[in-house]
Structure 1
Amino acid sequence: MQKFGLVVIGAHSGVRLTSLFEEYQNQNILLVEPVPYNIALLKENTAKYKNISIETSAVSEKNEIKKFYYVKPDAVKKLGKHWASGIGSFEKEHILNHKYKRFMVNDSHIEQIDIQYLTFSSLIEKYSIFSIDLLQIDVEGAECGILNSINFENIEIKKIIFEFKHFDGTFTEGPKLKSIKEKLIKFNYQLREIDKENILAEKN
């Protein structure tokens, strides 16, 4: 069994994680990213680090192969929003719900593929993880399912940063977020919003 300094579920291209790569350069790092063109960039951007493992499955509540949706690379350029490469989702509607007058996304802009989904417990078993210093989750609304599935009695996680703005639907917060907050508090985490999109949960 191994200690991991950093586990990121939804690592994108890794560009925004550089400071964390440096912080945890002497510890194991696991990056999870299922979007094909992001995987290619992630491998390129982390090539110099020997302590980084990349997992190309998605993390969900079941071990299964099912559909995954993301904005096509040419559509990211056409639509003119670089962040569109980071809104891959288990649900096509989640991507379409980002539509507004400056981001006119439609069905033709979306790629659909079949990929492997792993549960969080299967992920940590695959990499023999028994403790994590920082778990970061940014998975476009699937955060709730992942956090809800974690058995905090079986793994030690010191800090968790997770995006909360899509917890109860696209750009919606509600009872699911409240439930996860209650679960984390029950397991002795202190919570605080670190910006308008993310919460830090840190063990007391």
Structure 2
Amino acid sequence: MKEVIRSVLSALGYRVEGIRYTPRQLLDPNRRRELRFDDVICRHMFEHGQECIFIQVGAYDGISTDPLYKYVGRCGWRGVLLEPQPRSAASLRQLYQDNDKIAVLEAALDRQRGRRILYTVATDDLPDWAGGMASFYREHLLKHEYLLPGVGERVREVPVDCVTFDDVLERLPGDKLDLLQIDAEGADGEIIALFPFDRVMPSIVHWEIKNLSRTEQESVLELLGGHGYLVARSGCEDMLAVLPPSAN
């Protein structure tokens, strides 16, 4: 009877696991520790050395909610930071003005070089995190009305330069890429789809998923899985993809 029930539920898409021998503490989500970005990064540095080569798309000011900041200077990381918003890019340049291992590009990542309109939010009297809201799509910013009432009246149009991944990769010291970090306000999936995985395989890909639909998330995971990556959630808002040891 158990096998019949298991087969029926399996056909409906359910996975049945026994919990008879599972400690009760592991059934409490408040007691479980999730895989984090820092777990994967520290393991990678232990195995390959602490200097990581990285690309960061959507670096904002380099500090606010930035998972890379604590490593860049302390561990001697080398990389390229992309940030299209002029004020934020200026903050990045000031932050890393004495670090010759870091290149700041005031540009957005796109399929081809050129100029596009970026929609941003006037944030003089808004929370700091609101400054990171920027998108090629105005409607994406309007989705945040429930958090920022009247946000539509604050939307501004900013012409920005666009570069390709080829332009960015030329700024790296070689073919090695340890980390591709993306935080692009809902464009994360589109940007990952533009990366030339056929030529360069980042050891780790870390991106935001909270603004992606289920279909968009599945499309990204299918693409990365096709290149041999193993995936895991990183907290509630992000996702990690890591090449298995045999592929590094």
What is the TM-score when the length of structure 1 is the normalising length?
0.85
Correspondence 1:81 to 2:121: no
Aligned residues: 191
Code of the residue aligned with 1:77 in structure 2: it is: D
SS in 2 for 1:47: coil
What is the TM-score when the length of structure 2 is the normalising length?
0.71
Q: Give the aligned partner of residue 163 of structure 1.
A: 208
Over residues 77-135 of structure 1, what are the superposed CA-to-partner deviations in whole Å (9 max), with x where a residue is unaligned? 32x321110011111111111111x5114333122121111222332245575221111
Code of the residue aligned with 2:54 in structure 1: it is: L
Q: Per the alignment, do residues 150 and 189 of structure 1 end up closer, same or farther by CA in structure 2, a change over 3 Å counting?
A: same
> Quick one: distance in 1 between partners of 2:75 and 2:81?
13
- Identical-residue share of aligned pairs (%): 25
**Whose strand proportion is higher, 1 or 2?**
1
Code of the residue aligned with 1:19 in structure 2: it is: K
SS in 2 for 1:97: helix
Q: Give the aligned partner of residue 170 of structure 1.
A: none
Q: Give the aligned partner of residue 48 of structure 1.
A: 98
Code of the residue aligned with 1:82 in structure 2: it is: D
Q: Give the aligned partner of residue 12 of structure 1.
A: 60
State the shift of 1:184 in Å.
0.7
Q: Give the aligned partner of residue 225 of structure 2.
A: 185
SS in 1 for 2:145: coil
Largest Rg, 1 or 2: 2
Structure 1 stretches lacking a partner, 5+ long: 168-172
Q: Per the alignment, do residues 129 and 97 of structure 1 end up closer, same or farther by CA in structure 2, a change over 3 Å counting?
A: farther
Structure 2 stretches lacking a partner, 5+ long: 1-50
Code of the residue aligned with 1:121 in structure 2: it is: D
Alignment of 1:117-196 (within 5 A): 117-125=162-170, 127=172, 130-167=175-212, 173-196=213-236
* Structure 1, 174-183 or 105-114: larger mean CA deviation: 105-114
Q: Give the aligned partner of residue 27 of structure 2.
A: none
State the shift of 1:23 in Å.
5.1
State the shift of 1:143 in Å.
1.0
